[in-house]
């Protein structure tokens, strides 16, 4: 095909033996951003359906700052060998299954009348 007198080959690139034709920042066709995004998705904190329902019922809002604090608390608990942790902060309590990175339930400050937590092995204060 000719464009303005210049011959173009559609869909074909010249291959020079030994030449790295990948774009900078790519690994096997994946960009560095894609790799980091997928890695973050694997390590990020998830919320069970039950926890999401409780958050809605109890008016607990999660913003980026709170998510960062929760993820940091879970990482610290993981380093200490925790399996099920109560993360206690001003927004309430988040019960997290550490191996699965999953918040299993939440309580607001008003809901902690009994102040008893069962089936946890650790607590983190935020």
pTM to 2 decimal places: 0.65
**Residues 6 or more apart from 112 whose CB is under 8 A from it?**
92, 93
In this predicted structure, the answer to whether residue 80 has a pLDDT above a threshold of 90 is yes
* pLDDT value of residue 35: 62
* pLDDT value of residue 30: 60
In this predicted structure, the answer to whether residue 16 has a pLDDT above a threshold of 70 is no
Task: Please name which of 126, 73, 66 lies closest in space to residue 96, comparing C-alpha atoms.
Answer: 73
Q: 55 versus 7: which is more confidently predicted?
A: 55
Euclidean distance between CA atoms 32 and 107, whole angstroms = 38
């Amino acid at each position: 095909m000719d464009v303005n007198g210049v011959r173009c080959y559609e869909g074909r690139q010249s291959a020079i033996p030994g030449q790295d034709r990948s774009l900078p920042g790519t690994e096997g066709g994946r960009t560095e951003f894609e790799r980091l995004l997928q890695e973050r998705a694997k390590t990020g904190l998830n919320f069970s359906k039950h926890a999401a329902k409780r958050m809605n019922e109890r008016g607990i809002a999660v913003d980026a700052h709170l998510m960062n604090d929760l993820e940091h608390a879970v990482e610290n608990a993981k380093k200490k060998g925790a399996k099920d942790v109560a993360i206690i902060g001003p927004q309430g309590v988040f019960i997290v299954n550490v191996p699965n990175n999953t918040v299993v339930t939440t309580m607001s400050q008003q809901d902690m009348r009994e102040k008893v937590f069962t089936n946890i092995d650790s607590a983190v204060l935020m």
